[in-house]
Amino acid sequence: MASSSLDPVRPAFVEPSWDDLRIFLAVVAHGSMNSAAKALGQSQPTVARRIKVLEDALGLSLFQRGPNNLELTEAGQAILEAASPMGDAAAVVSRTAAAYRPDPDAPVRITATASVTLFLSLYAAQLHEAAAPVEIAYIPTRRRLDLASGEADIGLRMRNLPEGTDDLVARKIGQIAFAIYARTDNPTAVIAPPEDPTLSRQAAYVAEFAQGRTIVARIGDMPIRYQAAKAGLGAAFLPCWLGDSDPSLIQITKPEGDLIEDVFLVMHRRSRNRPNVTRVANALAALFKKNHKALVGT
């Protein structure tokens, strides 16, 4: 007769410990128990013992142990996929707690696109004075970092807030205009962004401009696209403050309509309790106001 879950000779299922799952994730991330132990501040025997406890609790072998490496078993890969969101959630909890725990010495983290971050870098000394004595950490990315969970303190975004974000506050601080620039006034080659033209207004604009011309490269990173245009590869879509400031480039199209983007400074409401963040936010607003003409291409 098959044994039931109540059979006294069959071990009862033991819920795995989150601490052991965390160690498991660290071993996978670092590639070995020794490296994971160093990252966790524990001894290698402790890590090995906790992995064994986890395997016993699950009734599974998670690793195939070779002479110099560890490889996940099929079951280990499945457990990794199930546990990874838990690790991500734990990281969010830590960031959220830190965001609600004011630290006067914490850096002020600004997230923006690469082109906006490049503009900020020109005035980094002024912004540093506003933040002093703490540091400013610049995070250039097109991904919208989660301000509520503490991934960043200030976001500079070129579109307004989506609905359902009552915990965030936004103010329009300026505009940025874009145009197509090239080394010659009748370029035959175009450097295009990699995005699908049906999903991006800017990509659609460049695709229309490229009709009858040769697309010689697709470059998503704006600073690299600028360098390629400056080197003479072809016409490129650039912010006007950058293209107009370079005497080697000619403005081929005029910035108008959708080519002029509103810029919003976004913060979480709790950031108002951090004087350093507020000072930097005010300095950013003043910076955009002072450079309004250059930013809109006039």
* 155, two tokens: 């976001």
Distance CA 130, CA 34 (A): 43
Q: Which residues of the chain have pLDDT under 50?
A: 1-11
Q: Which fold has domain 103-297?
A: D-Maltodextrin-Binding Protein; domain 2 (3.40.190)
Q: Are domains 18-100 and 103-297 of this chain identical in fold?
A: no
The structure's pTM equals: 0.66
How many residues are present in the chain?
Answer: 298
Q: Residue 120 to residues 201, 281, 284: CA-CA distances in angstroms?
A: 24, 12, 9
> What pLDDT shows up at residue 216?
96
Residue pLDDT, tens place only, 102-120: 667 788 999 999 999 999 9
> What pLDDT shows up at residue 106?
81
Question: Domain residue spans in the chain?
Answer: 18-100, 103-297
Write the CB contacts of 257 (distance below 8 Å, at least 6 apart in sequence).
none
> What pLDDT shows up at residue 224?
94
Q: Which fold has domain 18-100?
A: Arc Repressor Mutant, subunit A (1.10.10)
> What pLDDT shows up at residue 140?
92
> What pLDDT shows up at residue 165?
61
For tokens 């098959």, name the residue.
2
